[in-house]
Structures are given as C-alpha cells and as structure tokens.
Chain A
Amino acid sequence: MDLSFNLLGNAIVSGVLLGGFYAAVSIGVSISFGMLDIVNIAHPAFILLGSYIAYIANTWWGVDPILASVIALPAFYLLGVGIYSVYEVSFERRGDTSLRGLAFFFGLLFITEVTLVLVFGVDYRLVNAPYIGPSIHLGEIELPLRLLVPCLVALVMFGVLQLFLSRSFLGRAIQAVAQDPQALRLMAANPTRIKRVAFGLSIATASIAGAVLIIIQPIEPSIGRDYIGRIFAIVVLGGLGSIGGTLVAALTLGIAENLTATFYGPSWSPAVAFGILLLTLAFRPRGLFGRA
C-alpha cells in the first residue's frame, strides 16, 4: 500500500516535470498552428535540428547546451522567417494550404530527418552538463535535475512568451492576426509581415526545445516523429491559440503518460497521446481553453 502510494507520488511528480518539457516542445506549434493556422508538422524535425546544434556546441567546444540554444535563437528565427516567406507565396496566396501546404511541411520534415541521418548517422547522441545525473530528494520524492532543469527552462520560456504576447505591441498584433486577419487588413496593417515575425518566433522556440530534449534523453534523427502525436494532442487539448491552455495540457499529458508507463509499461506510453487526441477531437474539438 505504502509502496504503491510512493510509486504514484513519484510518477506524478516526474509526470509534471515531463509535462514541463512537453510544454517547451509544443509552444512553437501552439503559436504556428493555434494562432497562425499554419499546420507545421515539421516542427519536431526543427527541434531535432536544435538538439544536434546543442550537441555540436557541447562536444566540440564544451558549451552548455541551453546556452548554445540561446545563442542559436536568431538563426532559428531567420529560418522560420524564410520558411514562412516560401509558404506564404506558394500556398497562402494560392489558397492551397490544406493539401499542398501540408505536403510541403511533410517534405521539410523528411528532408531534415534524412539530412541529419546522412550527417550524423543513426547512433544515439548525448550531451554533458553538470546537472545531468544528480537528483534532489524531497522526502520520498526524487527530483532528477536532468528533468527539473528542462522544466524550469520551459516555464521561463513560457513566461517570457506570455508576457510578450499580452503586453508588447507586436505581441498584441500577433494575437490580432490570430483573431481576424481580414479586419487587420482593413486597419491598414499587413498581416503577412506580422505572421512572418510570429512564425519566426515559433521556429525559434525549437532551438531551446531541442537543447532541452537532448538533456532529457539521448537522440537520433527519427525520434522527432514520436513527438508529432504528442505535440498536436497537447495543442488541440489546450485549445488552439491558448498559451496557458497549452501548458495545462502538456502537464496533463506528462502525468497521464508517466502513470501509464509506471503501471502498464513504457512501451504503451506513445499510445496515450493519440488516445487523448482522438477523444478531444471526438468530444471537445475546441479543447479545454479554446475559443468556440
């Protein structure tokens, strides 16, 4: 009885930590899919790109992976701006976002993955940092720093983005695009320019998410795919365009997956996200905190 309670407590705590990490992975899609209506299924591939950059910086120059990801932010922002420019000209103007726009991102996902395989091979890679390994103990509860640090980084990133979106002029403009791009055009503002900035931001988050990913687990190029289901389950469950909802949904999924892994075995945990996604789509497609 006592043992299983302990197990439960530990599963929930590490589920919360895992959820924080999932939040970092999902925030980019929450912006691109939730606010800009751009179904960027290639996001996990960009996260892995971030992981490999952190890996290079760490093994070649001994730079801390999180610091490396912060340095790489501008490059990822520019990558996002570039991708959106192509997307806007090729698909949004032609009104062909649903079929060919989706296929475009699918192609990008595949190209990035195959390129990573060609450059780095399929061996698992990992990084070194002082916080990988030790744990903090609070009574019976164990807090591995390997999970705690990514969770804290994710929360900081969330806080900064939430502040930016709700307080700054540009952030409010992004929210305005999410609500009604047509009205924005009538106010003589250019939604394309604002969306370009917002999509750049969403890809920039992949840099930090990638560093966080390689801290949590060793990586190889194809693991990004496991996150597609999780990311979209979180974004849909949280309600499209709701930053706070994304955080709540990420924590929910983290706990649900960890409980499943603890009591049924880790090989079942990928199925949890899909179950949540399908249930949400079937019963409450606008998510927990979504606009109707």
Chain B
Amino acid sequence: MRNTSFIALLIAAAAAVFAAMLWVGNGYVFFAGYVVLQYIVLATAWNILGGYTGYVNFGVAAFFACGAYSTVVLHKLWGPPLVVMILVGGAVSGLIGLGTGYLTLRLRGTFFGIATLAMSVVAETLITNWQFVGGSRGAYIIRPEHAPHLPLDYIQYLCLVMLGLSVLAIATARAIEHSRLGVGFATIRDDELAAEASGVPTLRLKLIATVLSGGFMGMAGAPLPYYVTYLDPSSGFNLTYAVNTIAMPLIGGTATWLGPLIGAVLLGTLQQVATVTISSALSLLIVGLMLVGFVVAAPNGIIGWFKPAVRTSMRRLRGSR
C-alpha cells in the first residue's frame, strides 16, 4: 500500500475512533482513552529505535517528562497554543536523544541502555532542583474549560490531539519501514559489524533513530501537564512509563508498526480495566509478568503467533495449485 493511501486509511480509522468516543459520550472514556493513545505514541516511538535498530532505551520516562516539563516552562513564560508546546517538547527531547546517543552509541549496544537508565535518574535530579518548575513540590497547571476553536471540552480536545499524534507516529514508523532508512536500520539490528563494513553509516542512522524516537516521546509528554493538572518529578519520571512502553512493543511484536499498536491497545486497555477493578499495583505486576513471559516464551510477540499460520496457509495454497 502506498504511504498516502495508508495515511488516509489511518486518519479515517482515527476519525471513526473519535466519533465512537463522542457517541459513548461518557467523560471517563476520554480520560482512559487519552492514556491508551499516549501509550500508542510512546510504544511506536520506542519501537523506532528498539524494534528497528535493536537498541534498548530505558530512559523513556526522561524523554517523556522532559516534554512535559517544557510545557510547564512555556506555560509559565507566556502560554502559547498547545501545538507549539508539543513541537517544543519534541525538539527538547529529540536534542536529549541526540546528546545521549552521540556520547554512547559508538560503544557496545548495552552501554546505551545503561546510559539511558542512568540519564532518567539524572534528569529527575535536575528537575527536582529547578525551582522555576516547582522543584520537588511540583507544578500546578490550570486546564482550560473548553478547546480553542472547537465545540469540545478540553479533555476531549486533548484526546483528539493525542489521536493526531498517534496517526503521525504510526505513519512515520510505517514510512520508515518501507524506505531506505528502514533497510539501513534493519542491517544494524541484524549485524552491525557487517553493516559498517559494507559502508552503512551506522552511527548517523542510529542517531536519526534516537532523535526521532526521543522526539516523539517528548511530543507524547507535552500535553501531560494539562491532563494531570499537577505534575511533580516523581510522577513525571515514574518508572511505570518505561516498563509499559518497553513491554508493549515486545508483547505486540517489534518487527512492524502493528506490533506496538496491538501491544499498546491491549495492555493499555487491560491496565485501565485492572486499575479500576483490582488495584494499580497489581495491574503493574501483571505488566511485568507479561513482559518477562513474552520475551522468554514468545520472542516475536503476538504478531509472531499469526505469522507462521499465514505462511503455512500460503504454502498450502501454493501446493494445491
């Protein structure tokens, strides 16, 4: 399928989802839907680096929270429209990705993972010590009543914005898969040494992936202060974001854009239900157990369950011909 027709289809699907949410008409649908959509963006963003090039980013919370905190800063300075905040949040987190990547991506892959893990702690320390954004006390943001230019509540508007970001992230991820860039990423994942030897500019490609991935995470984080209305470092940098974001692509399947989408919808919805019906700590335990279970027993994720079936049915078709 061509990229343009895929994007048109994606937008149609997103419009259908939003129409369905409006039709249900319950305010809670938007609160829960926002979280699931946010995880679609985060999981897709993580997969651009993790799934396509094979480099693990544990610092999801840092990229995400830096996007959120750049919104806090902008809100305190002059309060531009949300779109500007999202762009700035994406730029800030993209730059952080560039810096971390430039320092550690030339080394063995595991060093990047460790560095991102440590970076999360350090970014939290910096924000905690920065009084302008509230320090450890946190910052309050007043959510407007109504959306600008649209006959929607603000929470519905936030949901719509996040839906737009999901479309953007998924379209980007799919476009990468079908481009030279995606082929370059795949060579790094499969055998970096051989790729380097064949003239693939591995460092540059890895940096592109890190910037894109970090940028989308920052964009996903930028609307957060308006959603939660109170943001403090320990909630913004919560490890839960990292665990969920890593678990979703690994459970769905890392090879294509569909995997993170399936993982995020499945796990995100499951968690929303489990948090309400059981307890939030227990629902996190379920996520952790599923992550370990899937990487041990089903390395290709949920997508992997269907692939062999498709292949055998194709073979049967060919055999009968």
B134 within 8 Å of A (CB atoms): no
Residues of B with C-beta under 8 A to A125: none
B296 touches A90 (CB 8 A): yes
Q: Pick the contact of B125 from A94, A100, A232, A267 — CB < 8 Å?
A: A267
Q: Is there an interface contact between A228 and B129, defined as CB atoms closer than 8 Å?
A: no
Q: Is A268 in the interface zone, CB < 8 Å from B?
A: yes
Contact across chains for B292 and A232 when beta carbons are under 8 A apart: no
Of the 9-residue stretches A143-151, A246-254, A273-281, which lies at the interface with chain B?
Answer: A273-281
The answer to the question of A3 belonging to the interface, with a C-beta cut-off of 8 Å to chain B, is no
Asked if A111 and B122 sit within 8 Å, CB to CB, the answer is no
CB interface residues, B 121-141, toward A, < 8 Å: 121-122, 124-126, 128-129, 136
- A236 to B118 alpha-carbon distance, docked (Å): 13
A residues less than 8 Å from B297 (CB atoms)? 90
- Given A98-B54, A98-B110, check contact A106 B243 (CB 8 Å): yes
For residues 226 through 263 of chain A, which have their beta carbon under 8 Å from a beta carbon of chain B? Answer: 226, 228-229, 232-233, 236
Q: Which of A94, A118, A270, A282 is B103 in contact with, Cβ under 8 Å?
A: A282
A189 within 8 A of B: no
The answer to whether B288 touches A268, judged by C-beta atoms less than 8 angstroms apart, is no
Residues of B within 8 A of A277 (CB): 114-115, 118
A270 touches B129 (CB 8 A): no
Within 8 A of B (CB), among A212-226: 222, 225-226
Q: CB-CB < 8 A to A273: which residues of B? A: 118, 121
Does B158 count as interface, using CB distance less than 8 angstroms?
no
Q: Which of A117, A118, A229, A285 contacts B118 (CB 8 A)?
A: A229
Does residue A62 face the partner (Cβ distance < 8 Å to B)? no
Measured CA separation A233–B115 after assembly (Å): 9
Shortest beta-carbon distance, B207 to chain A, in Å? Answer: 15
Selected from B103, B124, B129, the residue in CB contact (under 8 A) with A268 is B129
- Are the C-beta atoms of B296 and A103 separated by less than 8 Å? no
A289 proximal to B (CB < 8 A):
no
Which chain B residues lie closer than 8 Å to A281 at the CB level? 103-104, 107, 111, 115
Q: Which of B126, B242, B291 is the one whose CB lies under 8 Å from A271?
A: B126
| Number of chain A interface residues as a range | 35 or more
Contacts of B284 in A (CB 8 A): 110, 114
- Bound complex: CA A233 to CA B121 (Å): 13
If A98-B56, A98-B109, A267-B129 touch, does A107 touch B114 (CB 8 Å cutoff)? no
User: What chain A residues lie within 8 Å of B239 (beta carbons)?
Assistant: 110, 113, 222, 225
B contact face: mostly helix, strand, loop, or mixed: helix
Q: Determine which of B54, B118, B247 lies in contact with A233 in the assembled complex, contact meaning CB atoms within 8 Å.
A: B118
Query: Are B121's CB and A226's CB within 8 A?
Result: yes
Q: Decide yes or no whether A63 CB sits under 8 A from chain B.
A: no
CA distance A107 to B281 in the complex (A): 15
Chain B 80-131 interface residues, beta-carbon cutoff 8 Å to A: 103-104, 107, 109-111, 113-115, 117-119, 121-122, 124-126, 128-129
Contacts of B115 in A (CB 8 A): 277-278, 281
By beta carbon, the residue of chain B nearest A33 is B110
Find chain B residues with CB under 8 A from A39 CB.
110, 113-114
Contact B103 A104 (CB under 8 A): no
List residues 217-265 of chain B with CB under 8 A from any CB of chain A: 239, 242-243, 246-247, 250, 254
Quick one: which of A96, A102, A236, A275 has the most chain B CB within 10 A? A102
Q: In the complex, what distance in Å separates the CA atom of A122 from the CA atom of B296?
A: 30
B125→A107 contact, CB < 8 A = no
Contact A270 B281 (CB under 8 A): no
Report the minimum CB–CB distance from A47 to chain B (whole Å). 16
Residue A135 interfacial (CB < 8 Å): no
CB contacts (< 8 Å) of A102 on chain B: these are: 56, 58, 110, 113
Partner of A107, one of B104, B110, B124, B292: B292
| 20 contacts across the A-B interface (CB closer than 8 A) | A90-B296, A100-B250, A102-B110, A103-B56, A104-B296, A106-B243, A111-B289, A225-B239, A228-B114, A228-B118, A229-B118, A229-B122, A232-B114, A268-B129, A271-B122, A274-B121, A275-B122, A277-B118, A278-B103, A281-B104
